[in-house]
Chain A
């Protein structure tokens, strides 16, 4: 089944403890992206990647890192999480190399930082 898989679905951690949220897609998509969703703010882009080894900042990149060493994987890294990073995170992929193709979203990761 074609899908975007995120892990974990739920994560509770403490301030400053490094964490990684994994994202993998099996559709051979070029474009991958991370979003955070907060009440009243919609979906805001954190980072995106248009190809392997190419990553760029979105609207809210502060406090996050990503890597794209292979096409299928696009992990989100929080080196030193803070409470303001408590949010619902979505990974997404699309077949195009730009923004003009439908996005396929993962099931989301709900992160709580205490």
Chain B
């Protein structure tokens, strides 16, 4: 089945810096790539998603880029704030929806 690799597993940045999380997938038929944010003790919530016919999507401080040829996609958070601290999961959907193992992001003031 689909294998989704996510890096790094932990990321620490200073407030105001940018954060980048990268994911790779194996199934070339994958066509939907969501990102979920999970704050401590809470449920995962969708923050942004992209489909295979689009190369980049932006929503305020968050952007996602997709490279279908290389089979990787990335989450970019600019001007990070302490409330961005959370675990972020990428996922790739084709035959099934498979999640990466998560990145724990810590934004220090």
Which residues of B are at the interface with A, using a C-beta cutoff of 8 A? 1, 6, 31-32, 34, 36, 42-46, 49, 51, 89, 93-94, 96-102
Contact = CB atoms under 8 A, between A and B. Distances in A.
A-side interface size class? 10 to 19
Given A43-B89, A99-B32, A105 B43 contact: yes
B47 to A, nearest CB: 10
A67 B45 CA distance: 25
A54 to B, nearest CB: 15
A42 B89 contact: yes
Contacts of A102: 34, 46, 49
A103 interface: yes
Interface in A56-104: 58-59, 90, 98-103
